Amino acid sequence: MSRLALYRDDSMRPHPRSEVVVEADRLSVVGPDGRERRFHLHGSTTLVVDAAASRRFVRMLIVERAGERATLITPPERGAIAPRAVRLPEAPGDAYVVEAEHWEPLVAWLAGGGRLAGCSVGELAQLTTIASPHFAILLGEVLAAAAMELVWEATGPWRGGIDLEHALRPLVDLARRSPRAADALVAALAAVAGARAGRAGAGHR
């Protein structure tokens, strides 16, 4: 009888996750141990590269400012095996492992310089999922303005037109599973209602 020489592939072991929370000028990271680190974003530099962690491909974000550094990577166990022949920077052992659905909007926002102007409704909606409660409300108001602009641009005799619900669809969908996106949606709808009331009042003068 032959005996199989089995081994455990530790690269497939789920890594403890960290949570990220963004504000207008700050990034907070809560590690698996519950400890929170805060990084001021004004004047910071960011770098996004392919890297390796636990012999797996990951995407790595490095945020540096005034001698402080935060490294955030996508989950290694979900990446492809990194061949030894491919030379990639190795993620540090203290890198924060963040779900890809949160890592991606963070990187997209930082790549744009942390500015909201020029972001699409979809990009702003994704950002609400990692926003602080206060920042989520601000994002909701910005989303309302962006959605109303889309509706205004789509109206006219030669355009098919879209309604506000359609314009806010990315946020509505995310609000079903993200508390912060839900906060942003409430703020967006309140801002829209206020804008409509203001226009109605102006029309009766």
Domain ranges of the chain: 12-112, 116-199
Least confident range of 43-47, 71-75, 157-161: 157-161
Residue 59 CA: distances (Å) to CA of 22, 88, 140: 19, 11, 29
User: For all residues of the chain together, what is the average pLDDT?
Assistant: 87
Please tell me the pTM assigned to this model: 0.83
Percent of the chain with pLDDT over 90: 63
State pLDDT tens for residues 97-153: 999 999 999 999 998 888 888 788 999 999 999 999 999 999 999 999 998 888 877
How many Å is the maximal CA-CA distance in the chain? 94
State pLDDT tens for residues 71-91: 999 999 999 888 776 789 999
CB 157 within 8 A of CB 113: no
State pLDDT tens for residues 62-72: 999 988 999 99
pLDDT top residue among 63 and 199: 63
Angle between helix 133-154 and 121-128 (nearest 10): 160
User: Which residues, in sequence order, are CB contacts of 149 under 8 Å at separation 6+?
Assistant: none
User: In this predicted structure, what is the pLDDT of residue 165?
Assistant: 80
The token pair that represents 199 in the structure block:
């226009």
What angle (nearest 5°) sits at the alpha carbon of residue 63, between those of residues 59 and 65? 165
